[in-house]
Structure 1
Amino acid sequence: MWRSAEVFRQRADDYDKWYERHRAIYASELAAVERLGCVGGVEIGVGTGRFAAPLGLRAGVDPAREMLRLAPRDLDLVEGVGESLPLRDGAYPCALLVVTLCFVDDPAAVLREAARVAQRIVACVVPGKSPWGRLYAELGARGHPFYSKAKFYTLAEVAAMAPGLAPARVVATLFTPPPGPDAPEDPVDTGIDEAERAGFACLEFKRGKTPHP
């Protein structure tokens, strides 16, 4: 189950408009995900398709039908939850999760399912100890409709959720603290420790790879 599903059903338009209000942040995040490449893959927690569509993914899964209604029609969209994906084994070359793990009840189960349906996983989060993670957690404590439903993990915690998988690469951006950059930031390849300071960081998981230093 996804503890946040109801708020995304009720506030799908608010969610989607965030990207219009924060274009530099959104562009920075897109660039980070694009560097890792997930063309032809599936996004778990696809929302309104703000990442899947421009980055060339083929499909998306989300529990909130109201979000899927706002997503581009050229995506193969499926209503479902990440802990039990309605997809066959090995169906996609890549599974993408963009700030999805912080909104699910069992992030480890979601990663296991992602590994079942895809050969490679790209999991992006707002690192919990970064200035951005602390800000969002504080806003959540004050009752923010979205952030109050979230739990912000460190990258080390995310890496530990995926037994049998090791982070082969880390790409991060938004090292500028809130309110963020005036223009898009270029993402950088980095290690987990350095990426913990970023506002947005993506871990690429591959089987049998050595963890990124």
Structure 2
Amino acid sequence: MRRFFDFSSSMSHFLGVYIYGPNRGKWWHSCAIMPLWKLGRAIHRRKLRLLYRFHPSYRFHMIDTGLKPGPHMGERLILHASFSILMNSMKIRFDTLDRLETETRDLEAAPIGNNSPELIDHEVAFRKEMIQLIRWWTITRPADLAHAKSLADLVYGDVYMVERIDEKTGAKSLEIFPTAPEHKGQKKELRALRKKIAHEETEMLHRLIDIKGGLD
């Protein structure tokens, strides 16, 4: 269900009336809706200034990558920092992914009425892309990483050793192989999965950059 007011985006509205919709310029919109919305926005901005200064969750100039302390490659930092921004933006506007999905379905299914169809279509497309990116980051990628770890433990966890005997001297020696013969298939699967993860990380990061203008 849509909130009564929103000061945060191009979809800003007050009492169910969009600020930047087709009603802009009408006398009742200019004399009633806009003044009340501007007053609410001014109060909202002053509230945010206090939160930005004193509340840890609102220190948006600082990015929590979620990574463990220690050295990390630049590409890893960029990926985690970017998706941290995406998750923070979702939490600010919608609080949870379920609410984002519900409000997106409601917005898409609701009668257009006085609202601009182009504006709604753009917002719905943005939200759907946001949902796909968040689902990949929170569901698909963690599952792939967990599967890759289990494969790596299987393939490289135990050293495969073969005892060799020299026919001439009778001396014994051990040959060490990182992968047991029965794990050759899993090793191939692991390589393919790692390539998939790397490819998707680059693709999803590019897709996130494409919608950066709509993030709060």
Larger Rg: 2
Greater relative CO, 1 or 2 (CA 8 Å, sep 6+): 1
Normalised-by-shorter TM-score class: under 0.3
**Which structure has the highest strand share of the two?**
1
